[in-house]
Chain A
Amino acid sequence: EVVMTQSPATLSVSPGERATLSCRASQSVSSNLAWYQQKPGQAPRLLIYGASTRATGIPARFNGIGSGTEFTLTIISLQSEDFAVYHCQQYNAWPRTFGQGTKVEIK
């Protein structure tokens, strides 16, 4: 199975600053990667698919790049509603697998 590793586990950022989250796959997943945002007590919300395509209604401050084994989610100018846990997920192979998540907290 493809192991997804996210770093850092926790990222402390001030509102208005940029957050950079990393996701690494144990083998190439091409561009078959999605990012989800999850707030406490809620279900995850789709942000990005195809490594870089924003889902409907997702603000332009969320940007995804990468292919193969290295992926990055950048949140430009963090807003208060962006403090949450972010999960990456590969869909290149079965079983689908998620990273362990990166928590973005207020600095």
Chain B
Amino acid sequence: QVQLQQWGAGLLKPSETLSLTCSIYGGSFTGYSWTWIRQPPGKGLEWIGEISHGGTTKYTPSLESRVTISLDTSKKQFSLQLRSVTAADTAVYFCARVYSTSFNYYYYYYMDVWGKGTTVTVSS
């Protein structure tokens, strides 16, 4: 059974860089994309971006200038970096596996395996 284990610093000061890593256990790395999603306290989910197994990235425009998602295939890990953080970046950050496929006229895309989440607080 595939599991994602995530880790990284939980307390940052404004202007620092958020760094989180997610390791994939018990499953294939190829054939999937890998995504980061965050949830500010008491709010909904925000898609940050994703990386395909081939290394192609997509980011949400509001964060694109500050975010990098990268992949280490040898370690079966993917990472999130968010630069110049502010209090608005305080959130629980989740990593997740994305399955996508298309056949006939259907296109399916969903996050089917999630990490447990990492609480990141930005405070001076």
Which A residues contact B (CB, under 8 angstroms)? 1, 30-32, 34, 36, 42-46, 49-50, 53, 55, 87, 89, 91, 94-101
Contact (Cβ within 8 A) B110 A43:
no
Contact (Cβ within 8 A) B44 A99:
yes
Contact (Cβ within 8 A) A50 B94:
no
- Using A89-B47, A95-B58 as known contacts, list a sample of 13 further A-B pairs with CB atoms less than 8 Å apart, ordered by residue number in A: A34-B110, A34-B111, A36-B45, A43-B115, A45-B114, A46-B110, A55-B110, A55-B112, A89-B45, A95-B47, A95-B59, A97-B47, A100-B43
Q: How many residues of B contact A (CB 8 A)?
A: 24
Query: Most A CB atoms within 10 A — which of B59, B61, B108, B111?
Result: B111
A101 to B61, CA, bound (A): 21
Using CB atoms, name the residue of chain B closest to A48.
B110
Residues in B neighbouring A99, C-beta threshold 8 A: 44
On whether A98 and B116 interact (CB within 8 A), knowing A1-B61, A34-B110, A91-B109, the answer reads no
Number of A-B pairs whose CB atoms are under 8 Å? 62
A11 to B96, CA, bound (A): 28
A32 to B49, CA, bound (A): 18
Contact (Cβ within 8 A) A43 B47:
no
Contact (Cβ within 8 A) A87 B44:
yes
Contact (Cβ within 8 A) B109 A32:
yes
A68 to chain B, nearest CB (A): 15
Residues in B neighbouring A100, C-beta threshold 8 A: 43-44
Residues in B neighbouring A46, C-beta threshold 8 A: 110-112
